Amino acid sequence: MSKPRILVTRRWPATVETVLAERFDVTFNPGDIPLGENELRLALSTYDAVLPTVSDRLPAAVFDGAPVVTKILGNFGVGYNHIDISAAKERGVAVTNTPGVLTDCTADIAMLLLLSVARRGGEGERQLRAGEWKGWCPTHMVGTKVTGKTVGIIGFGRIGKAFAQRCHFGFGMDVVFFNRSPIDPAEATRYGARQLPTIEAVLAVADFVSLHCPGGAENRHLMNAARLAAMKPGAFLINTARGDVVDQAALIAALKAGTIRGAGLDVYEAEPDVPETLRRMENVMVLPHLGSATEETRTAMGMKVVDNVTAFFEGRDVPDRVV
């Protein structure tokens, strides 16, 4: 019996690629260059499985124009708003993701961003590297204390809980959160957090607002101009969720106007394109989507995809099936 034909759209950790090569008839992307819409359309008409990442856009149009022979999209990542799930479902294509394994590392990056914007870490490093530091003085690059401040979390799933735990037990912060479904108060207390009824209630009290909700249509521009204006004067926004959760133009306007004090961003609306205005702002810490970027986590993500795809072709229950 021939092995399923599989396309891996980007380079993955070597240990994962080795396992894929042993189990499947696999094609890799040696140049590690994101595939365009036509290339992805061709892939769907050629391979039994396609293993995409967040850098691969799979809108409804990609599923049109040619017969789809792909049976499963094994997504490398927990977020899948780059895939038109309805179009995949209509054509009988299963979709899986990789939840759980990137929780701690993404929470760590959110903490890094919070500390960096509070203490002006990016700004300070740029000044030092440019040879512009004139030496210590009492008024130089004064930032914001973190201990004792209130952090508001939007979305209290795995990553939101891990972030709450770090903020409360690691840095003595008060933690409030909004979640669409009720969280048992006893469970919330384990993370040093308490639930508030609305996003606006969180924004009204939080010195730092951190986003940990899914991307996609239901949360597109969740943080819009009105909600940015509803944040406390002097508050900071942290986003390690998905770029489309924030109205990027409204964020730039709020930062320019001083409506909020700063932002720490790991994700953007049109990655890898980040507006020059945003990149040049000293009160913004920007990272190139590093949330899961540790050797341990990226390998674990890859092995989760391997497990999902293997289970699918062996006719077993797929652990992380989205559709």
Q: Which residues, 6 or more positions from 224, have their beta carbon under 8 angstroms from its beta carbon?
A: 247, 250
First-to-last CA distance in the chain?
A: 27
Residues 289, 269, 221, 56, CA torsion sign: negative
Residue 271 annotated in active site: yes
Residue 242 annotated in active site: yes
Q: Which residues, 6 or more positions from 169, have their beta carbon under 8 angstroms from its beta carbon?
A: 192
For residue 25, the cross-strand partners are 5
CB 73 within 8 A of CB 49: yes
Find the catalytic residue in 212, 242, 261, 298: 242
Place of tokens 């004067």: 233
Q: Helix, strand, or coil here: 285?
A: strand
295: Cα separation from own chain's centroid: 17
In angstroms, the CA 126 to CA 99 distance is: 35
Find the catalytic residue in 5, 37, 271, 321: 271
Helix axes 103-118, 158-165, angle to 10 degrees: 50
In angstroms, the CA 225 to CA 228 distance is: 5
Residue 289 annotated in active site: yes
Q: Helix, strand, or coil here: 236?
A: strand
Q: Helix, strand, or coil here: 319?
A: coil
Find the catalytic residue in 23, 91, 220, 289: 289
Q: Could you give the residue numbers annotated as active site?
A: 242, 271, 289
